[in-house]
């Protein structure tokens, strides 16, 4: 089955999201949906928003205006808000959010685009990433590079041979010019739905790095395609 004829699910998480972020995300999702001849579900996991926040209302109204069938999943971890720090509590909270995203994958989905809601991406990227998925031998999960301006963004999530990626080119000494097998990825990935449906792969305290470790321990292969990229708002 080709990427365009597969049944997709796009899943992202939101908390206190501004209107422009929601508009961009819905536009990106709608563009991918238009290119897919199979079914394309669009899921927003929403939670831990401040009183009076309008994230859910803006998602619903924006989806309605675009004719997008949006599914909203409520998940609240109930913990404090953190910035970009490696706090153990934050990692536990992120693990819960990530599990809620994986739990949104349905039995009849084929492919999953797991993507942070604030990333900027073009529809051809997940379609091309899906082309690298390769049945039983893998990869079973594949990611693009993630940049913020000229710098590599996800230096926490992306790891290879036990070492984190760096902000500066070549990002990692062992990163090849083509598909490269890695230890872990983050922020944006395409995977087989059957991988996401495996309840044994749920996270507890290590977020996506923990997930990727469980994937590899289960025999799954994780890949990065350096010629494909998405952007984080700088």
- Split at pLDDT 50, 70, 90, the class of 84 is confident
Structure token digits, residue 49 = 């928003």
Instruction: Indicate whether 115 pLDDT > 80.
Output: yes
| Closest among 40, 59, 207 to 111, alpha carbons compared | 40
- Split at pLDDT 50, 70, 90, the class of 1 is low
CB atoms within 10 A of CB 216: 16
Tens digits of residue pLDDT in 23-51: 999 999 999 999 999 999 999 999 999 99
> What does R_g of the chain's alpha carbons equal in angstroms?
17
The overall average pLDDT reported for the chain is: 96
Alpha-helix runs per DSSP H in 67-150: 88-103, 124-130
Give the global pTM.
Answer: 0.97
Phi/psi at 215 (5° precision): -60, -50
Instruction: Indicate whether 130 pLDDT > 70.
Output: yes
């Amino acid at each position: 089955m080709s990427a365009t004829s597969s049944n997709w699910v796009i899943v992202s998480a939101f908390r206190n999201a501004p209107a422009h972020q929601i508009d961009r995300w819905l536009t990106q999702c709608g563009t991918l949906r238009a290119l897919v001849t199979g079914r394309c579900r669009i899921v927003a996991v929403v939670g831990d928003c401040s009183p009076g926040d309008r994230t859910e209302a803006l998602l619903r109204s924006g989806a309605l205006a675009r004719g997008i069938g949006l599914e909203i999943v409520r998940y609240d971890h109930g913990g404090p808000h953190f910035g970009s720090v490696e706090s153990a509590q934050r990692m536990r909270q992120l693990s819960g959010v990530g599990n809620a995203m994986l739990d949104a994958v349905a039995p009849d989905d084929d492919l999953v685009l797991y993507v942070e809601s604030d990333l900027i991406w073009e529809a051809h990227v997940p379609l091309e990433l899906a082309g690298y998925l390769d049945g039983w031998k893998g990869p079973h999960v594949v990611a693009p590079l993630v940049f913020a301006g000229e710098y590599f963004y996800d230096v926490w999530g992306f790891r290879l041979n036990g070492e984190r990626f760096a902000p500066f080119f070549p990002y990692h000494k062992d990163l090849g010019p083509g598909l490269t097998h890695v230890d872990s990825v983050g922020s944006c990935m395409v995977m087989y739905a059957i991988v996401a449906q495996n309840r044994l792969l749920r996270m507890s305290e290590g977020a996506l790095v923990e997930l990727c470790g469980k994937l590899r321990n289960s025999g799954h292969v994780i890949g990065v395609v350096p010629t494909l990229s998405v952007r984080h708002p700088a």
